C-alpha cells in the first residue's frame, strides 16, 4: 500500500517553506485567515521566489472570505488549490471556483451533522479536509477528533470521487494509529513544529512512520 497524500500546512516563515519544501509532501499550505500563522501576498511571493518547492502544490487557506478578497490575496501567486476552512455555503464555494478558476477543498468540522454537510458539497468541492474545531478556533489547535469516524468520511469521499484528508492533532507519535483507518491524505500543522516553526526532524520522523505503516498495512 502506498502512503497517503501528505499536506504540511501553516507554513509562515521563509524557514518553514525551506523545510517543508525539502520533505516528501505533495502539498504546502498557507493560512491567509487571521491566525498566529497568517501570511500575506507579499511575504508568500518572496518566500516562493527563493524556494525550490520541487513541484509541490500550493494550497491557500481562507476562513469565510468572499471571492473578491480571495482573488486579491492570491493575485500573482502560484496557488494551485483554495481551501475554505469556515462555514462557507455551497453557493459561495461554487462562486470562488468560478472566480478563481481553481479547485476548492472544503473543510468539514467533525460534529453530529458533518456527514450531511459534506454531502451537500457533492459536485462542488474538489476535496475535503476533516478537522477538529476546538477552543473556538477553526483549526491548528493540535486536537484530534475520534478517528473511528474516519472511514465514514473516506467512504463518502469515494462516493463523490474526491480525496479526503484528515487534520487535527496528527503528529509523528500517533500517525500510525490514524493510518489504520486508511485516509486518502493527512494534513499537519502544529504536529510538525518545534517552538512554533516547522521541524525537519519531526517531518522526517513522520515520513518514516508513514512508510512503516504503509508496509504494515499492505
Mean pLDDT score of the chain: 93
Domain count, the chain: 1
Q: Domain with 196 in it: what CATH number?
A: 3.20.20.70
* pLDDT tens readout for residues 12-43: 999 999 999 999 999 999 999 999 999 999 99
Instruction: Supply the range of the domain harboring residue 16.
Output: 5-217
Angle between helices 14-21 and 41-50 (to 10 degrees): 50
Nearest residue to 99 (alpha-carbon basis) of 65, 146, 144:
65
* pLDDT tens readout for residues 140-155: 455 789 999 999 999 9
Amino acid at each position: 500500500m502506498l502512503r497517503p497524500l501528505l499536506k504540511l500546512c501553516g507554513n509562515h516563515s521563509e524557514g518553514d517553506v525551506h523545510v517543508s519544501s525539502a520533505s516528501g509532501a505533495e502539498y504546502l499550505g498557507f493560512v491567509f485567515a487571521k491566525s498566529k500563522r497568517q501570511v500575506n501576498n507579499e511575504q508568500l511571493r518572496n518566500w516562493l521566489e527563493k524556494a525550490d518547492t520541487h513541484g509541490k502544490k500550493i494550497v491557500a487557506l481562507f476562513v469565510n472570505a468572499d471571492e473578491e478578497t480571495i482573488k486579491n490575496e492570491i493575485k500573482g501567486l502560484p496557488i494551485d488549490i483554495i481551501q475554505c476552512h469556515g462555514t462557507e455555503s455551497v453557493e459561495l464555494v461554487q462562486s470562488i471556483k468560478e472566480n478563481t478558476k481553481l479547485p476548492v477543498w472544503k473543510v468539514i468540522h467533525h460534529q453530529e451533522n458533518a456527514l450531511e454537510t459534506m454531502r451537500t458539497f457533492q459536485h462542488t468541492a474538489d476535496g475535503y479536509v476533516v478537522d477538529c474545531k476546538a477552543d473556538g478556533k477553526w483549526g491548528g489547535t493540535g486536537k484530534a477528533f475520534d478517528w473511528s469516524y474516519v472511514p465514514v468520511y473516506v467512504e463518502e469521499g469515494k462516493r463523490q470521487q474526491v480525496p479526503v484528508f484528515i487534520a487535527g492533532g496528527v503528529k509523528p507519535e500517533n500517525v500510525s494509529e490514524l493510518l489504520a483507518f486508511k485516509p486518502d491524505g493527512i494534513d499537519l500543522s502544529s504536529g510538525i513544529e518545534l517552538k512554533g516553526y516547522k521541524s525537519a526532524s519531526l517531518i522526517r520522523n513522520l515520513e518514516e512512520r508513514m512508510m512503516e505503516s504503509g508496509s504494515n498495512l499492505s
